[in-house]
Structure formats: C-alpha cells, structure tokens
C-alpha cells in the first residue's frame, strides 16, 4: 500500500520506519526538518523502556536525575529521579529517526505539503515541486496540521496552548530540569531543560488566556536572573501545542478508512505536563499495529484503550492542579511543599513521571499513604526548627 506521511518529526519518522519494515511503500513529506523543535526534548523512562529503537541507536543526550520544582512564592523542592529522563536535541533526535526510516525503505521528500485532496478513494498531495498519490494518508504535522484541517478540521483555540522561549548556548545544570509554577490560576509553567550542546528555556500557557509578548517577558526575566551570562546569544522560538479538554478528547475521531492522525496532530499531549513525545511514538506504534491487521479504523479504539483514559484524566484535573486550592493555599504551592517534606510523595511522583503509575493510581496511593506523609511532614518540620533557615528551605 502507498502511504503518505506528512510531517517528518518523531511521530511521522517513527511511523515511516515501522511501516517500511512491514513492506509498505512510504512517502515522508516535510519541508522544515532542519529547524529545532520548540520544546524541552525530554523523553521519560516510560518511552525509553518501551521503544527498543532508543536502545538500538545511540543519539547524544543529557541524562536527568533530578527535577527542581519552584513555586510562585519561591519555595522549591528537588525531586530525585530513580528512573532518569533523557533530554535530546530534537533536531538530532528527529533526523536520526528520519534517517532510520529512509534506510528501511521510506522515501523522504523535503517539501512542504500545501494541499491534500481525496479523489475517488485516492489521496492527492500537492507540493511546490509536484503532485503525489497515496492510498493512505497520515498526518504527523503538528498542532497546525494540514492533514487534520482537511479531515476533521483545525483545533479550536480552547484546545491549544502557546509555548515561547529561547535556546541558550551551553548547559547550566547538566543533570537537573527546572519547572517553575507561576501565579495562582496560571495554566502552565516555565521550564529549563539542559540539552547536550545548549539549553531550552521556555514557558507555556493555555492559549485563550495569554499573548506571546507577555510570555516572552517572563522567560526573558527568568534568564536575566538565573543565566545572565547568556547575553544576546539566545535564539527565540514559539509554537502552539495541543492541550485538549476532556470533552474534545472524547468527541474527536483521529482516523478513517484511509487516513489517520498521530502525535500533536491528533492532540496527544498531557494537559498538565504537556508531555507529548511518548504519545507521539506510541501512537505511531498503535497505527502500525492497526494497518498490519488491515484494520485502520481499529486505531481509534487502540489509542483510547492504551493511553486515552490517562489523557482524559489529565484534562479533567488540569484546572484543579493549576487553579485549585488545598489547605487554603494554591495547589501548586502545596505540591512543592509536599515534595520537599515527604519521601513518599517523591517516590510516587517519580513513579508517575516514569510511567509506572497512572493519575488514578497516584490519587489512590496518596490517600492510602496520607498518615505516612503527615508523619514525614511533621518530622521534616521538627528538623527544620533546629536548622539554619536558609538550609531548611533546601531540605
């Protein structure tokens, strides 16, 4: 079967690799592969353990063993990661997967797909240099997907977040990622991710509530305070990232008899953390399974059974996490405090990040272990009474 894949980033390249390996004729389109992807580039152990490709190929990366969380009031907590996260340059990671797909037999066409039309059961794709035909069309072209626009329509503004930031030369904290929560009700966070040869410092916020200039000012202020030596060498980036509400996730359909959407184009991103890499790769695997069985429409049930419930739960809890309260304080502030004061909370959060625990399981464990957490918090407070205040803040 002739398959056209629009978008040669992670989801598109991985799908092209898998589909070429099982004998399909794959055409992979993308006219902007040389651009660095505007995101952190973090791959959790959930993806590292599940996708054998990461073990079979050596791509330069930073290994992250600590996550520093900072609340709006400046309080912070360091979360040790028992299961390390890897941070990649997205340009290098994307190109490595794309080259692997070409070696497997895919044909890479470095052109932007301007239009996709269906005519008598065949897809007609137009680029600046020519036209192509395909029996099956895959959209892996991000939040502004051309394929999504011609199949189910573009995302509504309420289902998008805006990410802006800068690439900085050098790595300032090579084994630690930083997440900074903003003021109460700010649906999003600021991050600083160390990559191999540069750092990605950015911020995202639910699109209906923000503007690029306001977010850019926040990131610039953070860089000036924490990385003053970066100077004027930083490079700006901006992008839209899907952040679907629960109703949108439930109602949308991301495939048909001769088309399918992957990754960001399908809206597959965690509404709380904005993690999308795992879902991009996993959706490619699930679609390949569906096509291998000659049942493309089964892809819809496959992704819903595999990770759909987790995306729905994150969407349901997003507003509670960023705008809710717990014990008369912002929930994000209490989350940072609990992480700093309780090893049990640290362990459970680590398990959530690495994929060994779902949101529902996290909630259940937190409830069951509340007595232990309270004892740990009290002991931490007692120790802090006999410690220098500056040191106590770091405990």
Per residue in 194-231, pLDDT (tens digit) is 888 888 899 999 888 888 999 999 999 999 998 888 86
Q: How many CB atoms lie within 10 A of CB 19?
A: 27
From the list 199, 129, 144, 211, the residue with the least C-alpha distance to 170 is 199
Q: What b/e sequence results for 287-322 when a residue is b if at least 16 CB atoms lie within 10 Å of its CB, and e otherwise?
A: bbebbeeeebebbbebbbeebbeebbbbbbbbeebb
Q: What is the residue-averaged pLDDT of the chain?
A: 90
Quick check: helix, strand or coil at residue 226? helix
Q: Which two tokens stand for residue 298?
A: 């089964």
304 neighbors 332 (Cβ within 8 angstroms): no
> Is the domain of 165 the same as that of 124?
no
pLDDT at 277: 92
| 280 and 344 housed in the same domain | no
Burial class of 180 by CB neighbour count within 10 A (0 to 12, 13 to 18, 19+): buried
* 14 assigned to some structural domain: yes
Compute the average pLDDT of residues 180-204.
90
Structure tokens at 357: 């625990």
- The secondary structure of the chain in percent helix, strand, coil, rounded to multiples of 5, reads 45, 25, 30
Is residue 34 scored above 80 in pLDDT? Answer: no
- The two tokens of residue 9 are 């980033």
Does the residue 331 lie in any domain? yes
389 phi and psi, to 5 degrees?
A: -55, -35
Query: Are 135 and 115 found together in one domain?
Result: yes
* Mean pLDDT along residues 290-317: 96
Average pLDDT over residues 112-117: 90
For 378, counting Cβ atoms within 10 Å of its Cβ (0-12 exposed, 13-18 middle, 19+ buried), the class is exposed
Question: Same domain, yes or no, for 197 and 329?
Answer: no
* pTM score: 0.91
Q: What is the spatial distance between Cα 253 and Cα 303, in angstroms, rounded to a whole number?
A: 11
Query: Which pLDDT band holds residue 36 (cuts at 50, 70, 90)?
Result: low
274 within a domain of the structure (yes/no): yes
**Rounded Cα–Cα distance for residues 282 and 54 (Å):** 13
- C-alpha span between 25 and 207 (Å, rounded): 38
Within a domain: 171: yes
What values do phi and psi take at 304, rounded to 5? Answer: -65, -40
pLDDT > 90: percent of the chain: 68
Residue 273 and residue 296 share a domain: yes
CATH code assigned at 202? 3.30.9.10
- Reported as a pLDDT band with limits 50, 70 and 90, residue 40 is low
Residues in CB range of 55: below 8 A, 6 or more apart = 48
Mean pLDDT of the region 71-85: 93
The three-state secondary structure class of 372 is: helix
Residue 254 in this model has a pLDDT that exceeds 80: yes
Q: For residue 268, name the pLDDT band (cuts at 50, 70, 90).
A: very high
Is the same domain home to 172 and 121?
Answer: no
Task: Please report the pLDDT score of residue 57 as a whole number.
Answer: 83
Residues in the chain: 395
Which of 288, 315, 342 represents a domain boundary (last residue)? 315
Q: 106 CB contacts (<8 Å, ≥6 apart)?
A: 5, 16, 17, 19, 20, 26, 27, 28
Residues 234 and 167 in one domain: yes
Total domains in the chain come to: 3
d(CA 313, CA 333): 21
Interior/surface letters 72-106, b for 16+ CB within 10 angstroms, e for the rest? eeeebbebebebbbbbbbbbbbbbbbbebbbeeeb
Residues 136 and 262 both lie in one domain: yes
Residue 47 lies in a domain: no
Question: Do 363 and 340 share a structural domain?
Answer: yes
Task: Report which of residues 49 and 252 the model is more confident about.
Answer: 252
Does 68 fall in a domain?
Answer: no
> Do 134 and 280 fall within a single domain?
yes
Same domain for 230 and 216?
A: yes
Give me the CATH number covering residue 281.
3.50.50.60
pLDDT tens digits for range 334-391: 999 999 999 999 999 999 988 888 999 999 999 999 999 999 988 888 887 766 555 4
- Domain assignment present for 74: no
How high is the pLDDT of residue 38? 61
Give the structural domain span for 298: 2-41+89-155+244-315
pLDDT at 56: 83
Specify the pLDDT at position 394. Answer: 46
| 110 lies in the same domain as 219 | no
Least confident range of 19-33, 203-217, 226-240, 253-267: 226-240
Note the pLDDT of residue 39: 66
User: Going along 104-233, which residue ranges are E strands?
Assistant: 107-109, 115-119, 122-127, 130-134, 136-139, 160-169, 176-181, 188-194, 198-206
Query: Rounded to an integer, what distance in angstroms lies between the CA atom of residue 94 and that of residue 385?
Result: 50
Question: Given this model, what pLDDT does residue 395 score?
Answer: 45
Rounded-to-integer distance, Cα 352 and Cα 205, Å:
22
Q: Contact, 337 vs 72, CB < 8 A?
A: no
| 55 membership: H or E segment, kind and range | helix 53-56
Fill in the DSSP letter of residue 255: B
């Amino acid at each position: 079967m002739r398959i056209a894949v629009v978008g040669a980033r992670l989801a598109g390249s991985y799908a092209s690799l898998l589909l070429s390996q099982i004998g399909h004729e794959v055409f992979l389109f993308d006219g902007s592969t040389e651009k660095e992807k505007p995101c952190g580039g973090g791959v959790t152990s959930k993806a590292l353990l599940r996708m054998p490709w990461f073990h079979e190929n050596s791509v330069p990366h930073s290994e992250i063993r600590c996550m520093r969380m900072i609340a709006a009031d400046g309080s912070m907590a360091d979360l040790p990661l028992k299961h390390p996260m890897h941070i990649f340059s997205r340009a290098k990671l994307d190109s490595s997967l794309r080259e692997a797909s070409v070696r497997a037999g895919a044909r890479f066409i470095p052109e932007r797909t301007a239009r996709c039309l269906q005519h008598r059961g065949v897809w007609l794709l137009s680029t600046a240099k020519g036209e192509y035909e395909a029996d099956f069309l895959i959209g892996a072209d991000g939040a502004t997907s051309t394929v999504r626009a011609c199949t189910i329509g573009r995302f509504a503004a309420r289902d998008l977040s805006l990410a802006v930031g800068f690439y900085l030369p050098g790595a300032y904290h090579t084994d630690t990622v930083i997440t900074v929560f903003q003021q109460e009700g700010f649906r999003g966070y600021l991050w600083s991710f160390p990559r191999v040869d540069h750092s990605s410092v950015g911020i995202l916020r639910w699109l209906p509530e923000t503007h690029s200039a306001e977010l850019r000012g926040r990131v610039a202020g953070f860089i000036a305070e924490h990385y003053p030596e970066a100077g004027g060498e930083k490079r700006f980036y901006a992008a839209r990232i899907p952040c679907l509400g629960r109703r949108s996730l439930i109602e949308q359909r991301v495939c048909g008899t001769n088309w399918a959407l992957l990754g960001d184009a399908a809206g597959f991103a965690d509404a709380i953390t904005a993690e999308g890499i795992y879902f991009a790769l996993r959706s490619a695997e699930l679609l390949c399974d569906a096509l291998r069985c000659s049942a493309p429409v089964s892809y819809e049930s496959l992704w819903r059974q595999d990770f759909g419930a987790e995306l729905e739960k994150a969407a349901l809890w997003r507003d509670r996490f960023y705008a809710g309260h717990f014990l008369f304080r912002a929930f994000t502030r209490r989350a940072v405090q609990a992480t700093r004061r309780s090893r049990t909370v640290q362990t459970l959060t680590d398990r959530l990040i690495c994929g060994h625990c779902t949101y529902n399981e996290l909630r259940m464990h937190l409830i069951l272990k509340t007595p232990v957490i309270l004892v740990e918090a009290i002991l931490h407070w007692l120790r802090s009474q006999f410690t220098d205040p500056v040191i106590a803040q770091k405990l």
